[in-house]
Structure 1
Amino acid sequence: MPLSITNTDLQYEDQDLGFGSLSRVVLARHNHNGTYYAIKIMSKNQVISNKAVDLVMQEKEILGRLEHPNVVSIISTFQTDIELYYVLEYCNGGELLYHIEVQKGLDPLTTKWVTAELVNAVTYLHLQGVAHRDLKPQNVVFIHTEHGPHLKLIDFATAAVSTEQPRPLGKIVRTADDELEDLDDAADERMRSRWHAREAQGKRFIGTCQYCSPEMIIDCTATYSSDLWALGTVVYHMVAGTGAFDDEDSFAVLKRILSWKFTYPEGFDAGARTLCDALIVLCPTARLGVGPTGCAGDQLKAHPYFTGVDWDALPTQQLDVHLSEWEPAATQKL
């Protein structure tokens, strides 16, 4: 973070870029160099009351050590008496979710290039010992560069430095039946009470239910393998235009995930399907990209779906990506 920026250096635009459970992100322009930044603002009281101090500090530490063309950059941080501020790179191309919903699914070539850049970002994180733990279309944004649009992975609020290895399937199966029984009873309060009990043991539910892995639902465990499950569900969403486990009832979503209950719609791209089949796998140790001793990103990049991808040239390549017109207000309207 080479720049030192404070509130007096910024002119805030009347434009919200997004909201999180503990934050809001607004657009601001630097008074001296004219550069636009995304400013993440967090209330200190809210962070403390939600027992999220460690997560907030961890996000700052993780972003400060990451440097990759497909990962958002943190420029500076500062604070006032009541708020924390993260000055982040502004990505002016909108969220992946926006483009999926406007186009009702992306075309096969766009999906392939977006997936390749996502793989680039995720494998980099894993080699750095970082699990994102909330990979979803809302946390993938685009930036227009001299080489055309490229993506950035954002929102490391629940990311973690993790050396924990994925557990084999057997340890999940032994507890899955109990979880499914709770879900069959539609026991909202019972499920929440179980999660509260896990929090008391130092565990907490992390992520977004439509993209979360079975191991997160069962015992609030998320490793880099959980990112690979989420990657598969994001690819599915790009192709189909809807999520693999979508349901209006959140607990029905969880039940679908634990039951591995999803189908491919007619016309689903065959190459993307083989990749999804290798990632949306119940057993955490059986997902493509999980090696015997850790992350196996090379295996993931070698999948036939990525034939023709020049991984070294990818960040500066002019990609054949078709995106919709976007302005900051568009996401909120949608």
Structure 2
Amino acid sequence: MDHFHNNRGNSSMSKQSDINLGPSANPFAKPTDFDFLKVIGKGSFGKVLVAKRKSDGRFYAIKVLQKKMILKKNEQRNIMVERNVLLKNLKHPFLVGLHYSFQTTEKLYFVLDYVNGGELFFHLQQEHTFPEPRARFYASEVASAIGYLHSLNIVYRDLKPENILLDSQGHIVLTDFGLCKEVIEPTGTTSTFCGTPEYLAPEVLRKHPYDRTVDWWCFGAVLYEMLLGLPPFYSRNVAEMYDNILHKPLHLPMSISTAARDILTGLLQKDQKRRLGAQADFLDVKKHAFFSSIAWEDLYNKRIPTPYNPNVAGPADLRHIDPEFTQEIVPNSVGRIPDSTINSPTATSAFLGFSYATTDDHLRN
């Protein structure tokens, strides 16, 4: 982590050209390379926008984070650590692809695959519940992505409905790993969480150390909601819901199959040492009877037909994106490079070495 302290306080750091861009095939990327079209999501540090690259007309999702907000929340160390996750060159069919990232004096920009089939849970709201084969298909793609992250010693930790998208064909895409996860530890009182309370595992609520099994709890919560229409232990009263997660036994109706009841019992096990996945991780999940019909290699290679096709007309088709976001006005500041004289050297040096690009980005189609 030495790059935190490199050149700290050096005022020339305010110049874009002096920032270490890392293994970058595109070191001169800047906001003005893009036309920012629509807001498609929001987080605690910034926004996600759909943007069109001027040079080739391609569409990307660009996550724009305010350095000021991150520094204020003392999160820059967290962001830098998670950037190192990105440097592991994550490539998996069900994870969003990062093309490159860059920064201006005030903002960080991540250029990501644009995925416009909509949030999985946007579709679940329309249907209320998914039939078991459809839920199984999505769950197996999600499990495959989690297994891959775990194989690289990455705990996803923040699997939640808004991070699970469908691509234009109807395959799962997990987003947001290593890109400013919301801070999900309780801050101050037990009732103030950033993140999704419905999906918090008991050990996270108790502020106990957690490991990769936290992801299998969240995975169980996702599967439960797909099959039964609400998260497990759900209550409109948040304090009651926390109490349910910690103490209430899991109730599973007979309307779902024996295999579904069995896997949910294993995944939503309050004791993380006894949870499905605690022994052999993804292998435990993969081998469960609920997934007996899944040919995992075919699944990985996208050879299994998707149960639903979002039927998007093309990249500019936003029919599955929540209008709450898309009706928002894109601020001018997003696509502008601010005057570097207003920059504080500390803010820039805190993010030294942040900018990143995959070395083969120019080879990608």
Shorter chain as normaliser: what TM range? Answer: 0.7 to 0.9
Quote the offset at 1:194 in angstroms: 5.1
Quote the offset at 1:271 in angstroms: 2.8
How far apart in 1 are the matches of 2:193 and 2:209? 8
- Match of 1:33, SS state, is coil
- One of 61, 64, 77 as aligned partner of 2:84: 61
- Match of 1:328, SS state, is coil
Deviations 1:8-60 (A, max 9, x none): 321111x1111111121000011122221110011111010011112222332
Q: Is the 8 A contact 1:131 1:224 kept in 2?
A: yes
Q: Match of 1:168?
A: none
Q: Match of 1:259?
A: 247
Change (3 A) 1:321 1:2: farther
Opposite residue 308 of structure 2, the aligned amino acid is: H
Structure 2 residue 206 is the aligned partner of structure 1 residue 218 = yes
How far apart in 1 are the matches of 2:323 and 2:131? 23
Q: Where in structure 2 are the equivalents of 1:313-328 lying within 5 Å?
A: 313-315=298-300, 316-322=302-308, 328=318
Higher helix share: 1
Quote the offset at 1:263 in angstroms: 2.2
Q: Where in structure 2 are the equivalents of 1:149-298 lying within 5 Å?
A: 149-156=170-177, 157=179, 193=188, 207-265=195-253, 267-291=255-279, 295-298=280-283
- One of 61, 66, 70 as aligned partner of 1:38: 61
Q: Match of 2:50?
A: 27
Q: Match of 1:300?
A: 285
Q: Is the 8 A contact 2:170 2:310 kept in 1?
A: no
Opposite residue 130 of structure 2, the aligned amino acid is: L
How far apart in 2 are the matches of 1:2 and 1:33? 19
TM-score normalised over the length of structure 1: 0.80
Between the two structures, name the one with larger relative contact order (CA 8 Å, sep ≥ 6). 2
- Match of 1:77, SS state, is strand
Opposite residue 305 of structure 1, the aligned amino acid is: F
How far apart in 2 are the matches of 1:265 and 1:324? 30
Opposite residue 321 of structure 1, the aligned amino acid is: P
Q: Match of 2:329?
A: none
Q: Higher mean Cα deviation, 114-123 or 28-37?
A: 28-37
TM-score normalised over the length of structure 2: 0.73
Higher strand share: 1
Opposite residue 305 of structure 2, the aligned amino acid is: L
Structure with bigger gyration radius: 2
- Match of 1:131, SS state, is coil
Opposite residue 193 of structure 1, the aligned amino acid is: G
Q: Is the 8 A contact 1:205 1:217 kept in 2?
A: no
Opposite residue 161 of structure 2, the aligned amino acid is: P
What is the alpha-carbon root mean square deviation over aligned residues? 2.5
Opposite residue 252 of structure 2, the aligned amino acid is: Y
Deviations 1:156-197 (A, max 9, x none): 24669xxxxxxxxxxxxxxxxxxxxxxxxxxxxxx853569x
Change (3 A) 1:234 1:82: same
Q: Is the 8 A contact 2:61 2:112 kept in 1?
A: yes
Deviations 1:200-234 (A, max 9, x none): xxxx9674211111100101533111000000010
